[in-house]
């Protein structure tokens, strides 16, 4: 992998788009990966693909030069989460996440577990899932609007030494104003203007996410279901560049 990935530098050269490999088989995932470029995007491996294919697929993706975000959202007792994070680091992944709802002790254990690793991945906290709204939060006993909950959990993640959080773009602008630039904001739910939102409720365009202060954009269907995935990636890159130029004026 490029040295910038391992030192966690955040500049305009590194890939900011993370392609979500939301497939049920290694074969379909690798077919898409063969049509992409590790110099222009990173990859996200989530629960279904990991459960079906195991760590071997992650190793193959890393060996092909891709930076891999292992999106398993660890949430368990501190010792169990610490062991899972160490195992993820051993796979050579670029990023791994844990649920901030696991609390201070769990988050601290996760961070300490990978601090001594020579290839320490970024450790990112999951705040509130982008499928949540006020109603669904109330149904699980969490009062208040999503922004309040996300902000509180992001503060906990920062306090315990995590490298950033997953959040929606609607929350990103407030978090970017609150935290330093080295606190990464990973934004899922990216859709082109007018596209279907599917099962995510807090979705935005790439330009809006960049304007809000996002560092990395997680993109699934707009690329994975495109007839030409690399062309779709190029279109998103262009939209992001245009958004950055507007911000720099």
The two structure tokens encoding residue 189: 């739910």
Whether 59 is a known active-site residue: answer: no
Phi, psi of 125 (to 5 degrees): -95, 135
CA Rg value for the chain: 17
15 marked as binding residue: no
Of 5, 37, 76, 117, catalytic: 76
Residue 191 marked ligand-binding: yes
Q: Which helix (H) or strand (E) holds 99?
A: strand 95-99
Tell me whether residue 104 is one of the annotated catalytic residues: no
Task: Give the integer Cα–Cα distance in Å for 202 and 188.
Answer: 9
Q: Is 9 annotated as a binding residue?
A: no
Q: Is 130 annotated as a binding residue?
A: yes
Catalytic residue among 63, 73, 104, 133: 73
Residue 101 in marked binding region = no
221 is known to lie in a ligand binding site? yes
CA dihedral 15, 20, 21, 24 (to 10 degrees): 170
69 labeled binding residue: no
11: which residues sit within 8 A by CB, 6+ positions away? Answer: 4
Indicate if 73 belongs to the active site. Answer: yes
Tokens describing residue 184: 């990464």
Among candidate residues 34, 71, 163, 228, the one labeled active-site is 71
The answer to whether 46 is annotated as binding is no
Say whether 44 counts as a known binding-site residue: yes
* Three-class SS state of 98: strand
Residue 78 labelled as part of a binding site: yes
Whether the CB-CB separation of 123 and 114 falls below 8 Å is answered with: yes
What is the β-pairing status of strands 68-74 and 95-99? parallel
User: Which residues are part of the catalytic machinery?
Assistant: 71, 73, 76
Residues contributing to the annotated binding site for substrate: 22, 44, 71-80, 130, 191, 200, 220-221
Residue list for the binding site = 22, 44, 71-80, 130, 191, 200, 220-221
């Amino acid at each position: 992998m490029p040295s910038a990935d391992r030192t966690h530098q955040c500049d305009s050269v590194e890939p900011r788009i993370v392609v979500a490999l939301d497939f049920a088989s290694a074969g379909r995932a690798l077919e898409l990966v063969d049509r992409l470029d590790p110099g222009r995007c990173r990859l996200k491996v989530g629960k279904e693909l990991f459960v079906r294919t195991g760590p071997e697929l992650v190793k193959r993706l890393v060996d092909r030069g891709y930076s891999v975000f292992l999106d398993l959202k660890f949430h368990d007792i501190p010792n169990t989460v610490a062991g899972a994070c160490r195992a993820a680091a051993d796979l050579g992944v670029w990023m791994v996440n844990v649920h901030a709802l696991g609390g201070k002790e769990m988050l601290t254990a996760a961070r300490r577990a990978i601090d001594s690793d020579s290839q320490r991945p970024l450790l990112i906290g999951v705040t509130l899932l982008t499928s949540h709204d006020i109603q669904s939060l109330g149904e699980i006993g969490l009062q208040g609007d999503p922004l309040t909950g996300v902000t509180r959990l992001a503060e906990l993640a920062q306090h315990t030494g995590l490298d950033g959080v997953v959040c929606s773009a609607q929350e990103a602008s407030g978090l970017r104003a609150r935290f330093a630039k080295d606190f990464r904001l990973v934004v899922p739910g990216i859709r082109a203007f007018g596209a279907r939102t599917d099962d995510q409720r807090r979705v935005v365009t790439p330009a809006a996410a960049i304007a809000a202060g996002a560092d990395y954009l997680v993109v699934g269907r707009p690329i994975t279901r495109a007839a030409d995935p690399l062309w779709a990636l190029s279109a998103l890159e262009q939209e992001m560049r245009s958004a950055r130029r507007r911000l720099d004026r």
